[in-house]
Amino acid sequence: MLRKILIANRGEIAVRVIRACAEMGIRSAAIYAEADRHSLHVKKADEAYSLGSDPLAGYLNVHNIVNLALATGCDAVHPGYGFLSENPELARACVRRGLTFIGPTAEVIARMGDKTEARLAMQKAGVPVTPGSPGNLENIDEALHCAAEIGYPVMLKATSGGGGRGIRRCDDAEALRHNYERVISEATKAFGRAEVFLEKCVVNPKHIEVQILADHHGNCIHLYERDCSIQRRNQKLIEIAPSPQIDEAERQYVGGLAVLAARAVGYTNAGTIEFLRDVDGRFYFMEMNTRIQVEHTITETITGVDLVEEQIRIAAGFPLRFKQHEIQRRGFAMQFRINAEDPKNNFLPSFGRISRYYAPGGPGVRTDGAIYTGYTIPPHYDSMLAKVIVWALNWDDVVSRGHRALRDIGVYGVKTTIPFYQEILRHPDFRSGSFNTSFLEMHPELLEYSTKRRREDVAAVLAAAIAAHAGL
């Protein structure tokens, strides 16, 4: 078993890995930029090492991270998600220097990180993909010709994209001309590569992804699916496991596709295969995420499998502890990404000091976060503060529990997305378990209700305070 792991990340995912290490008797080493000196992952780890004053450079420097891991006696590196988690150079450097990389091989990361290569691999394996360009586009003329053959609308995507960046929907030739250089610019800035490709746009799909685990002994299983259809501008906000929108036959089918996809590329460790399900019930491969996902928590909740612990065990060379038939699911789980953003101001990031923080509790409630009362949110990173996860035996109860947990949580001093999520849970379409990736676009009134209800809540609190004072 591994003895000491350097966690090449920050925030809540670093805290999550630290907790898994503690339960497994493995020492944890955190890293931090000066802006993160007072972050919770620094306080929780067994050891913590400074990366210097630059808020980003240290987290993105492969060689410095590997050198630090070796200098501090670590025998493995866990990349978390984001930063270098899907950078094959980190995996390659770890292997070259004798460290265990907790993830798939560099070759698989590189292949699946190239969206056109991933599509070709899936086609060869017999996994359905959406119609699209045969490879990267050379110029706008080729893009226009390809789009005309596929038929509008189309999705213009960065070949190395991810996290909702480097992607634009184009409803006609004019939109494609307008977006072509924009996506190339985004791809170059965000991913260091200017390649783009086209896919047929699946209109109003459901976003279904499947969690898989694969070891170095030829074993590969799925742990059922997650529904990530509630999103804004291709960024996930609320995730659900299992999906309330597919039946058991579809569940087994898409789980089988995910295992087929993982085996086809020789995948090892934890990974996620993302699909789009169209209105006719057809599933199309979208991408493979070669890392732990933000939303791994809800899969853990319905299956009882600690995915981070399994990641570490697989990387250490152990075989999977579970056969496919032993993976049982129970109930429904839902995760809310609590972001420091102002929904009524176009989701503008809201950084600053958290004056008070209360985590929700009670049966079936879990909170993963890296904040505390008095913590100052640095402006250099993602706006996610915490993840609230709720579980219940049935769909209606998990929605009600989610609403109660969102009322329980208290984050003061910054704006958050909490009121917006409460409005989503109140919506009859959501409560009926019927929604797709266009849900928020189709219901812009949710933002208006959120703002109005917040004013009503403030007025009610003031009225109660006045009445209480009058009665003294």
Residues marked active site are found at 291
Pairwise CA distance, residues 3 & 210, whole Å = 31
Pairwise CA distance, residues 279 & 256, whole Å = 20
> For residue 182, how many C-alpha atoms fall within 13 Å in the half-sphere facing its CB?
11
Closest CA to 127 of 262, 297, 249, 229: 262
Which residues have a Cβ under 8 Å from the Cβ of 54 and sit 6 or more positions away? 33
In sequence order, the β-bridge partners of residue 156 are: 168, 198
Pairwise CA distance, residues 57 & 103, whole Å = 22
**Number of neighbours of residue 322 by Cβ within 10 angstroms:** 16
Q: What is the DSSP string of 207-250?
A: EEEEEEEE-TTS-EEEEEEEEEEEEETTEEEEEEES-TTS-HHH
Q: What interhelical angle do 88-96 and 62-71 show, nearest 10? A: 40
Pairwise CA distance, residues 388 & 279, whole Å = 30
Q: What is the dihedral of CA 281, 284, 285, 287, to 10 degrees?
A: -90
Pairwise CA distance, residues 329 & 293, whole Å = 19
Pairwise CA distance, residues 309 & 321, whole Å = 11
Report residue 112 as tokens. Answer: 């699946």
